[in-house]
């Protein structure tokens, strides 16, 4: 769920062939993963010691069309599931999160959107550097529906987005609409989910790299629960769907630059920006520059309310080396090696 707009990532022919395999090979879970945090949503209410709501109507920096609220109409726990509900309703609320601005004048600014929804985060309640993150979820469908499971830096050590990075565990747009994936058979419906990293410099010098995973139409992620996972260690990041390891991004393929007070840029060394604390986010956006410009285009206002359902969120850390996260990798040789962008300097 980028905090700036980006175009849909197209699938290459070679990757498509790999991902259309009728029976993807599941990777055996690496040894040494130790459960350190979880929410099974087994209580009657959202656990506010683990999650906090973002409350804003700013459109996510992507021209999205929702206000995020803390209302029970937009997020609640019932029958062991977290429900994140988008509703089509005119709503006016604060433009910014209260912790994002420093002046009363900015806090008092408001905006109006045609939808409401929820965005939950673990910021400063639970933050991690390295680990395995598993989320079992069922996603909403429809033109303009944009569910996301992702991570942002807690401390923004290297500067504003995307100098400090962003990790997208899973995003999907426009599920069950007519796909514009040129490698899919004619008339196919959208089934793809996407794993992506955002890095580079501060916008507009940001870049991103990622790849999609295509489900069969019979197993559309809007019809069924699936487990979306990410393993993050010091020198690489890996993506999984239902234990299928489908992509890897090595550290020599990403970079980070920071802007100095005099306007110059420096390149950050080591494993930056993915060597700092990050926190989890779960949200359901409506519209925005990505979904509104692909598939059927625009936003379909019909069929609301719609919901994203989350069965559990589990976080593991590698007991073999908690400082680097190395030694517990769950790997499959067929996984795509994502090619990153180079620093244009």
Beta bridge partner(s), residue 210 = 196
CATH assignment of 13-24+32-325, among 3.10.20.30, 2.60.120.200, 3.10.50.40, 3.40.920.10: 2.60.120.200
Q: Which of 134, 171, 190, 236 is catalytic?
A: 171
Each of the 345 residues of the chain gets a pLDDT tens digit; together they read 654 443 333 333 333 333 443 457 787 788 899 999 999 999 999 999 999 999 999 999 999 999 999 999 999 999 999 999 999 999 999 999 998 888 999 999 999 999 999 999 999 999 999 999 999 999 999 999 999 999 999 999 999 999 999 999 999 999 999 999 999 999 999 999 999 999 999 999 999 999 999 999 999 999 999 999 999 999 999 999 999 999 999 999 999 999 999 999 999 999 999 999 999 999 999 999 999 999 999 999 999 999 999 999 999 999 999 999 999 999 999 999 999 999 987
Beta bridge partner(s), residue 53 = 120
Q: What is the pLDDT of residues 68-91, one digit of tens each?
A: 999 999 999 999 999 999 999 999
Q: Which of 134, 166, 190, 231 is catalytic?
A: 166
Q: Is 171 a catalytic site residue?
A: yes
CB atoms within 10 A of CB 224: 12
């Amino acid at each position: 769920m980028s905090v700036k707009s980006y175009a849909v990532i197209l699938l290459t022919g070679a990757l498509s062939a790999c991902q259309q395999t009728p029976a993807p090979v599941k990777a055996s879970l690496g040894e040494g993963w130790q459960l350190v945090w979880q929410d099974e949503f087994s209580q009657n209410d959202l656990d506010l010691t683990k999650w906090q709501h973002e409350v804003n109507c700013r459109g996510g920096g992507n021209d999205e069309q929702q206000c995020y609220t803390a209302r029970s109409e937009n997020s609640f726990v019932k029958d062991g599931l977290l429900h994140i509900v988008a509703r089509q309703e005119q709503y006016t609320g604060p433009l910014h999160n209260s912790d994002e601005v420093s002046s009363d004048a900015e806090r008092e600014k408001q905006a109006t959107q045609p939808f409401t929804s929820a965005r939950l985060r673990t910021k400063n309640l639970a933050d991690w550097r390295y680990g395995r993150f598993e989320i079992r979820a069922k996603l909403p469908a429809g033109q303009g529906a944009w569910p996301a499971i992702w991570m942002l830096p807690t401390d923004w050590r290297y500067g504003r987005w995307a100098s400090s990075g962003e990790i997208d565990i899973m995003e999907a747009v426009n599920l069950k609409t007519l796909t514009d994936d040129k490698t899919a058979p004619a008339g196919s419906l959208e089934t793809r989910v996407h794993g992506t990293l955002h890095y580079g410099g501060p916008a507009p010098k940001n870049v991103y790299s990622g790849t999609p995973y295509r489900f069969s139409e019979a197993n559309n992620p809007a019809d069924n629960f699936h487990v979306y996972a990410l393993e993050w260690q010091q020198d690489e990041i890996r993506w999984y769907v239902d234990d299928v390891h489908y992509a890897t991004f090595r550290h020599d393929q990403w970079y980070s630059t920071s802007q100095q007070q005099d306007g110059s840029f420096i390149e950050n060394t080591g494993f930056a920006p993915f060597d700092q604390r990050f926190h989890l986010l779960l949200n359901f956006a409506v519209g925005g520059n990505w979904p509104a410009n692909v598939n059927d285009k625009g936003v379909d206002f019909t069929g609301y309310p719609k919901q994203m359902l989350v069965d559990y969120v589990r976080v593991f850390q590698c007991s073999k080396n908690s400082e680097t996260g190395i030694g517990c990798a769950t790997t499959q040789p067929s996984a795509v090696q994502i090619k990153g962008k180079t620093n244009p300097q």
